[in-house]
Structure 1
Amino acid sequence: MKTDLTRRMLLKGTIASSAIGIAIGAGLLTPKAVLAAWPKEAFTAKDIPGALSSLMGSDSAEESGDITIKAPDIAENGAVVPVTVSTTLPGVESIAIIAANNPVPLIANFNLKEGAEGFVSSRIKMGKSGDVIAVVKSDGKLYKAGKEVKVTIGGCGG
């Protein structure tokens, strides 16, 4: 009895996999249709104003004391720099993280739903020392804050 059940599950899985393979081969399922839309221009921009304009429609953000960035003062490994951004601004729509001295500065953008807490945490890659900038879109306006992070080679502190 158990063998019959196992055989049926195997047959169902095989038929489902075959159907998906045929649909992909016929062009009925394409990754482009399945993947979420993303702002390619923003994530390939070589400068901060270009990235912000493509991502948020403007590159002018005012400094805000309501944004807090937690990141190490000295990062011993630039490949994994922990960064946490939090804000008390009302109506937060999105939070972007930028590494100013990276060849492509825009690291991440988080779109938040209405009522979500203005908090994100991630590990970013930094090619060299520089500012980590958080840009928060709140009630249609852009606000920013920055923190300098020094990246050391091999954890030497120099």
Structure 2
Amino acid sequence: MDSRRRDVLKAGGAVGVWSVLAAVGIAAPAQAWDARNGGVFEAATLDDALRALGAQDAAESAAVRIAAPDVAEDGRAVTISVASDIPRTEQIVILIEENPYKVAASFRLSGAMAPAIQTRVKMARSTRVHALVKAEGRLFVARREVTVTVGGCGT
């Protein structure tokens, strides 16, 4: 099969999936094509990222749970899961202290979605991972230390 044809089929499939999710109300078109908040994703320090998110005073919460390995053998693909027991969770953001760019991922959730995500991130070195949860206009945070044996990010 021609590689260009394969790329067109993959792109068409992705558009189709988002269309179905939008049609059944799981994802709004704005969520599918949400504009990137450059101030958040390009923050070079943790304080800058928290300031851009409006989260300098986020409250520690045991209702936000981070599942991540204690020791990650390869920093190029570290699996991180975040779950929230806080009602009406609207957003989950993963921040990694020692990465060149602190915000690794941001997820906006609709009421039809369970407040739990799982993703893989790159980690430059051993550091704390922060999970920030926005619910009912308030911000909550949990932290977890992850040891990385081989870093996955360039600086």
Q: TM-score range by the shorter chain?
A: 0.7 to 0.9
Report % sequence identity. Answer: 36
Which of 80, 93, 99 is the matching residue for 2:96? 99
- Aligned with 1:51 (options 39, 49, 52): 49
Give the greater-gyration-radius structure (CA).
1
Partner Cα separation in structure 2 for residue 49 and residue 60 of structure 1: 11
1:40-83 CA-partner distances (Å, limit 9, x unpaired) = 111111112211222x3342211000011110000000010000
- Alignment TM-score, normalising by the size of structure 2: 0.72
Aligned: 1:116 with 2:113:
yes
> Which segment is superposed worse, 115-124 or 136-145?
115-124
Scaled by the length of structure 1, what TM-score is found? Answer: 0.71
Corresponding letter in the other structure for 1:49: D
CA contact (8 A) 2:125 2:150 kept: no
Other-structure match for 2:83:
86
In the TM superposition, what are the counterparts of 1:6-25 in structure 2 within 5 Å?
Answer: none
Other-structure match for 1:38: 36
Counterpart-to-counterpart distance in 1, 2:68 and 2:132: 15
Give the AA of the match of 2:39. Answer: E
What SS does the corresponding residue of 1:45 show, helix, strand or coil?
coil
Q: Distance in 2 between matches of 1:134 and 1:36?
A: 21
Identify unmatched segments of 5+ residues in structure 1. 1-34
2:142 is the counterpart of 1:145: yes
Structure 2 counterpart SS, 1:116: coil
Q: Which AA in structure 1 matches 2:111?
A: E
Amino acid at match of 1:95: I
2:78·2:120 contact (CA, 8 Å) conserved in 1? yes
- Check the 8 A contact 1:77/1:152 in 2, yes or no: yes
**May I ask how many residue pairs the two structures share in their alignment?**
119
